[in-house]
Structure 1
Amino acid sequence: MVARWFDGEGEGFRLLGTRCAECAAVFFPREDGFCRNPGCGRGELAEVALSRRGRVWSFTDGRYRPPSPYLSDPELPWDPYTLIAVELAEERMVVLGQGAPGVTVADLEVGMEVEVVPGVLGADPENPSTTWTTWNWRPVGVTA
C-alpha cells in the first residue's frame, strides 16, 4: 500500500496523518510503523484527516532553485515561491508547505488564518498530461 499524504477535492481536500489509539498523538507526515511518542506503549495507528485550516506560524520566500530530487528544469527561469509554516489548531502541530500560486510574503501575516488547497508540483516531462500533485496554503477568503 502506498502511503497517501492528502486526499479529496474542493472543500473535502485534507492532509492525511495518523493518530495513535493509545496516546492520541497525531503525526504528519503520517507514521504507519509505530507511535513516535517516546512515552507511549506503542498503540495502533489509524489514518486521520487533519484540520483544513490553521494559522500562519511563520513564512519566508524561497529564492533559490532547490537541488534534486526537486523537479526543476535548469533551462527555464526560476520563479521564487512562498513557504508557509501553519499551526493546525485542533492538532496543535505545525505543517510546512508552499503558498498557493500568487501568494507572496506580502500577502501574509503571522497569526492569519489559512486553508489547505490542492496544488500542482510539476508535470511528467515525458507525458505532460500527467501531473504530480501536492498541497498549498492560501489565506482564507482568497480564491484561485
Structure 2
Amino acid sequence: MPGTTDAQAPLPAIDGWFALDDAGRPHLLAGKCTTCGTYVFPPRSTNCPNPACDGDDLEQVAMSRRGTLWSYTENQYAPPPPYPAPDPFEPFAVAAVELADEGIIVLGKVVEGTLAADLRVGMEMELTTMPLYTDEDGFVRTVHAWRIAS
C-alpha cells in the first residue's frame, strides 16, 4: 500500500497499525515485549506496559485476525474537528474485541451497515479495513475495523 502513486489506492490513515499479508488480509501490528511477552496496541518499540516487567525492548508482530466481542457501543454524534466525519453524519458501532491468543482487547469501528443492535457480546469478530476519509491529495485513507465473522 505505501509507496503507491495511484491516488485511488487506499493508504492507512495511521502508518504502522496494520499490514496486509500475502493474501491481502489485514493484521493488526503490536509491540511484544521480548522479556515477558506482553502485547501493546497501538504498537511501539520500547517500554513494556506490564508493571511487573522491566523490559524495554518490544518487537513488532502481527496479531490474530479474529477475536471475541467483549463490549460495544454506538456513536450517535459526529466527532469534533479535526477528526473527519461524513456530512450528513451516520451513527456507527464501535467494538472492543478480545484477542485471546494475545491477551489484549482492541477497539475499532465496526464496518458500515452494522449497528449496535446487530452485535452481541461473545460473538466472533474478524478484522478488516474500511475507508475513513479522502485526504487533500485524493488518497483514500483507511483504518482497521471489525466485522461479524462469517
Give the RMSD, CA atoms, in angstroms: 1.7
Residue of structure 2 aligned with 1:79, choices 90, 97, 102 = 90
Query: Structure 2: how far apart are the matches of 1:3 and 1:42?
Result: 25
Contact 2:73–2:116 under 8 Å retained in 1: yes
The match for 2:30 is: 17
**What stretches of structure 1 move > 2 A for 4+ residues in a row?**
9-12
Give the aligned length.
136
TM-score w.r.t. length of structure 1: 0.87
Deviations, residues 73-99 of structure 1 (Å, cap 9, x unaligned): 6xx211111111111111121111000
In structure 2, the residue corresponding to 1:106 is in which secondary structure? helix
* Identity among equivalent pairs (%): 39
Residue of structure 1 aligned with 2:146, choices 120, 123, 137 = 137
Unmatched segments (≥5 aa) in structure 1: none
TM-score w.r.t. length of structure 2: 0.83
Is structure 2 residue 125 aligned with structure 1 residue 114? yes
Deviations, residues 20-79 of structure 1 (Å, cap 9, x unaligned): 111111101112231121221224210011110001111111110111231126xx2111
Query: Structure 2: how far apart are the matches of 1:31 and 1:37?
Result: 14
